[in-house]
């Protein structure tokens, strides 16, 4: 399964799809990027005069690229047969270091810690275009096909 097929199998759509491209993917991890468009719905109120990407959106972006895309890759044979995903994600801990502004491109890099019984746990970090660490954490999820 290639990057485009993985993205097409994501169970998200605009305005809640936070994956533009995958740049690397293997059974051990994934990296990909997203540009936070200035017209995104959450910038209108976070914050009025100083728009900053909410931490929950940064966490969701890390989860979509770092866990869900990797899970689709790892379960690709089952997905081709069944075509329907059920996903439940948890974030054990996420640390935030610098803000992400409108029109900023971020790169998510994920490293698989384990994948067993359809539970995937990854160390995930987000870098900005200056290669500065934006945030990092551990995200786990159950990824099932039906």
- List active site positions: 46
CB 106 within 8 A of CB 98: no
Helices then strands (H, E): number in the chain?
4, 6
Parallel, antiparallel, or unpaired: how do β-strands 133-145 and 119-128 relate? antiparallel
Q: Contact 36/53 with Cβ under 8 angstroms?
A: yes
Residue with tokens 């895309």: 69
Residues 6+ apart with CB under 8 A from 49: none
- Give the Cβ contact number of residue 10 at 10 Å: 17
């Amino acid at each position: 399964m290639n990057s485009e097929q993985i993205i097409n199998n994501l169970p998200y759509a605009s305005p809640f799809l936070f994956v533009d491209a995958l740049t690397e993917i293997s059974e051990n991890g994934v990296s990909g990027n997203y540009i936070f468009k200035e017209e995104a719905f959450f910038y209108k109120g976070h914050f009025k005069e100083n728009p900053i990407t909410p931490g929950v959106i940064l966490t969701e972006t890390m989860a979509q690229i770092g866990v869900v895309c990797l899970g689709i890759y790892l379960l690709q044979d089952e997905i081709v047969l069944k075509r329907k995903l059920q996903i439940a994600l948890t974030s054990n801990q996420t640390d935030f270091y610098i803000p992400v502004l409108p029109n900023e491109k971020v790169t998510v890099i994920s490293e698989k810690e384990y994948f067993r019984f359809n539970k995937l746990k990854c160390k995930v970090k987000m870098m900005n275009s200056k290669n500065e660490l934006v945030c990092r954490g551990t995200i786990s999820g159950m990824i099932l096909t039906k």
